[in-house]
């Protein structure tokens, strides 16, 4: 495949677009790729195009760069589509935190499961419907690489709408990178296997030259009491396998922590953290925009993300192993068929091939099944037009169910339904509390 066409949907996420382009154009074989940028915000799209041209010049690359507000035109003839939209932007994120907080529900990141994850999915699904329809019309064989959260719900929703979709997240890589540093072993010398669901996968093997590095980790935790004040370390100590997402994320996928003031203090859980992160993302965009306009410094920094690696492997045939979010077709034996799981995938010129992991440890699978239930009910709510399933999803959600009464869950859903309004699928724009 020469000069592949790579389309960025949501390219106005300029900082992320910047990092991905820096990685893509670092590969000599991709330096003449056709890069098509799409966003619905003209200013952000203009900034993204300027950033792309600056990065290309810095890399000594000569890609064909185009930018358009017309999504179908951007997608026409695409080989790869990178999706990184955020529907509703910062304002919707604030609503996802402030409204549940008024009902007494605490969250930290709110983008995966929980009430924030559910409503983020519901306002994303209509845009995914339109994106999938365009892909089917003008580039049906394109490989869709999804970065938009909630990862598992979005990939589940897309899987029946496009031929080729893989969800990508950096959590496994950075977990293993940080674990290697924690036990004093170079990352390049570590062998590992992880599997589960996105943001709640488990490190099943952690070795160097056949030696179990979990023993080193145990000694490190025993020697440092402050490590025992991390959520993910606490989960590892109780469950026997290290989770592949940060403590902030991990705290809101379980029922034991956020409803207890003492646990929040003991484990230093940053309630509401993502609102600040979202605000910083807006500020970082403005800094990048201003740097482009004034000719200021614009560092060319790679991200180590999987999408550029996948594209390079498919184009060149160079084999790699990455972690992907894909439909569970017997990949993890004790999670439901059809759900979306995170497993190692082999990538080469033939595409992305997930590997079968077998059964997870029973206690890890049990937590994953609670997560999967929230995913299934949310997807069903949209596909079947059943607003009661939105409430059912949150009745099944570990943190929500541990914190709120049934009446409070339904009232909270009504308030969020009114707040997000036309962003939601039309059949779900109804309140159900008498």
Tell me the pLDDT tens digit for each residue of 263-286. Answer: 999 999 999 999 999 999 999 999
Provide the annotated active-site residues: 170
Q: What is the DSSP letter of 332?
A: B
**Per-residue confidence band for 303, with pLDDT thresholds at 50, 70 and 90:** confident
Q: What pLDDT sits at residue 411?
A: 98
Q: What pLDDT sits at residue 14?
A: 87
Share of the chain above pLDDT 90, in %: 96
Averaged over 214-242, what is the pLDDT? 97
**pLDDT tens string 38-71:** 999 999 999 999 999 999 999 999 999 999 999 9
In 295-386, where does DSSP find H-type helix? Answer: 306-316, 362-384
Could you give the CA distance from residue 264 to residue 357 in angstroms, rounded to a whole number?
34
**pLDDT tens string 360-383:** 999 999 999 999 999 999 999 999
Q: What pLDDT sits at residue 212?
A: 98
In 143-260, where does DSSP find H-type helix? Answer: 151-159, 171-182, 214-223, 231-239, 247-251
**Residues marked as binding for Mn(2+)?**
169, 199
Averaged over 412-423, what is the pLDDT? 98
**pLDDT tens string 149-191:** 999 999 999 999 999 999 999 999 999 999 999 999 999 999 9
Residue with tokens 């308030």: 415
Q: What pLDDT sits at residue 434?
A: 73
**Residues marked as binding?**
149, 169, 199
Could you tell me if 231 and 269 are in contact, meaning their C-beta atoms sit under 8 angstroms apart? yes
The b-or-e profile of 144-182 (16+ CB within 10 A means b, else e) is bbbbbbbbbbbbbbbbeebebbbbbbebbbebbeebbeb
Cis peptide leading into 337, omega within 30 of 0?
no
Length of the chain: 434
**pLDDT tens string 69-80:** 999 999 999 999
**Per-residue confidence band for 300, with pLDDT thresholds at 50, 70 and 90:** confident
Q: What pLDDT sits at residue 298?
A: 83
Q: Which residues, other chains included, contact 62 with Cβ-Cβ below 8 Å and sequence gap of 6+?
A: 31, 32, 56
**Residues marked as binding for substrate?**
149
């Amino acid at each position: 495949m020469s000069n592949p066409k790579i389309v960025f949907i949501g390219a106005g996420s300029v900082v992320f677009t910047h990092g991905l382009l820096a990685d893509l154009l670092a590969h000599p074989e991709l330096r003449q790729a056709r890069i098509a940028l799409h966003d619905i915000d003209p200013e952000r799209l203009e900034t993204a195009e300027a950033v792309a041209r600056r990065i290309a010049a810095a890399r000594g690359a000569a890609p064909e760069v185009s930018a358009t507000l017309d999504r179908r035109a951007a997608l026409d003839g695409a080989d790869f589509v990178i999706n990184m939209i955020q529907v509703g932007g910062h304002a919707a994120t604030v609503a996802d935190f402030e409204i549940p907080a008024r009902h007494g529900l605490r969250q930290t990141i709110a983008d995966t499961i929980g009430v924030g994850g559910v409503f983020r999915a519901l306002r994303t699904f209509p845009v995914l419907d339109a994106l999938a329809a365009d892909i089917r019309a003008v580039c049906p064989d394109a490989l869709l690489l999804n970065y938009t959260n909630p990862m598992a719900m979005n990939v589940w929703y897309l899987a029946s709408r496009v031929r080729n979709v893989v969800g990508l997240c950096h959590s496994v890589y950075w977990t293993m990178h940080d674990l290697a540093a924690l036990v004093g072993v170079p990352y390049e010398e570590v062998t590992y296997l992880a599997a589960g669901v996105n943001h709640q996968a488990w490190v099943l093997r952690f070795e160097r030259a056949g030696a179990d590095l979990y023993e080193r980790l145990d000694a490190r935790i025993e020697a440092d009491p402050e490590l025992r004040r991390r959520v993910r370390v606490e989960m590892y100590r109780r469950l026997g396998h290290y989770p592949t997402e940060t403590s902030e994320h991990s705290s809101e996928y379980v029922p034991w922590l956020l409803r207890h003031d003492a646990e929040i203090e003991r484990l230093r859980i940053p309630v509401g953290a993502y609102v600040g992160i979202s605000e910083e993302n807006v500020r970082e965009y403005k800094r990048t925009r201003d740097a482009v306009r004034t000719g200021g410094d614009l560092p060319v920094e790679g991200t180590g993300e999987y999408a550029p690696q996948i594209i390079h492997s498919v184009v060149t045939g160079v084999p790699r192993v990455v972690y992907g979010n894909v439909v569970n077709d017997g990949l993890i034996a004790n999670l439901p068929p059809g759900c979306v799981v995170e497993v190692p995938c082999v990538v080469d010129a033939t595409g992305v091939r997930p590997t079968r992991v077998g059964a997870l440890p029973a206690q890890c699978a049990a937590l994953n099944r609670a997560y999967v239930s929230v995913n299934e009910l949310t997807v069903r709510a949209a596909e079947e037009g059943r607003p009661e399933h939105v409430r059912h999803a949150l009745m099944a959600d570990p943190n929500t169910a541990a914190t709120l009464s049934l009446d409070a869950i339904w009232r909270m859903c009504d308030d969020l339904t009114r707040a997000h309004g036309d962003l939601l699928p039309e059949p779900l724009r109804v309140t159900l509390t008498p």
